[in-house]
Chain A
Amino acid sequence: GAGVSQSPSNKVTEKGKDVELRCDPISGHTALYWYRQSLGQGLEFLIYFQGNSAPDKSGLPSDRFSAERTGGSVSTLTIQRTQQEDSAVYLCASSLVGRGGTDTQYFGPGTRLTVL
């Protein structure tokens, strides 16, 4: 079946602009996660959705970052007033259940964001 998909694959933007990154999870997966991978910081958790609600937003680095999920499916990560330190690969993952952390997370190909 289809895996996790993300769009765009690459995004180049100017400092101060807003960007939206999209994630389509595996059909039927109730849990969705956003992570960020940047040089020197490794892979960091950003936010977790269970259905359409986000019980854990602890990894969002500032209030310029927000995310939503609609219909228990597609999620959008929005970064407002982008800064150069936001440059990274943004990865989305989904899992069947989420709660309890006992199931496998499957990752999308990522969106490479470059802020000039």
Chain B
Amino acid sequence: GIQVEQSPPDLILQEGANSTLRCNFSDSVNNLQWFHQNPWGQLINLFYIPSGTKQNGRLSATTVATERYSLLYISSSQTTDSGVYFCAVPYNQGGKLIFGQGTELSVKP
């Protein structure tokens, strides 16, 4: 089956810093989602981005489908950005999501 790898596994930032999270996947995909899991466990949709670049406020994402990776950029980080960031891709016709292991981000004041 498809493999999804995220890096780095952990990241500590000072408030105001920028960061880039990476997601590599082992096969061609027709969808990719980025999620933020907040400290209460809720998975919040950030981006649906099978290809190209999207921006939403301080966050942006780029997927290069031909090279099988996606990047999530966080600019001017805030303490509320802390949590775990997951990327996920669908597998087989039903679209069940295969998740990476996540990047745990901690933003210090």
Residue positions of A touching B, CB distance < 8 A = 31, 33, 35, 37, 42-45, 48, 50, 55-56, 59, 89, 91, 93, 95, 98-107, 109-110, 112
* Given A42-B101, A105-B33: A99 and B95 interface contact (C-beta under 8 Å): yes
B97 vs chain A, min Cβ distance (A): 6
Note all chain A residues with C-beta closer than 8 A to B41: 37, 89, 109-110, 112
Decide yes or no whether B25 CB sits under 8 A from chain A: no
B70 vs chain A, min Cβ distance (A): 15
In B45-98, which residues have CB < 8 Å from any A CB? 45, 48, 50, 86, 88, 90-98
* Given A42-B99, A105-B33: A91 and B43 interface contact (C-beta under 8 Å): yes
Note all chain A residues with C-beta closer than 8 A to B92: 56, 101
User: Do A99 and B94 touch (CB < 8 A)?
Assistant: yes
* Given A101-B31, A102-B30: A107 and B43 interface contact (C-beta under 8 Å): yes
Which of B88, B94, B98, B101 gathers most chain A CB within 10 Å? B94
Note all chain A residues with C-beta closer than 8 A to B91: 101
State the CA gap A107–B101 with chains docked (Å). 17
State the CA gap A48–B93 with chains docked (Å). 11
Bitwise, B27-44 to A at CB < 8 A (1) or not (0) is: 000110101000011110
Range, interface on chain B: 20 to 34
State the CA gap A55–B30 with chains docked (Å). 20
Note all chain B residues with C-beta closer than 8 A to A95: 95
A92 vs chain B, min Cβ distance (A): 11
User: 7 tightest A-B contacts by CB?
Assistant: A101-B95, A101-B90, A107-B43, A43-B99, A45-B96, A48-B94, A104-B48
User: Do B95 and A102 touch (CB < 8 A)?
Assistant: yes
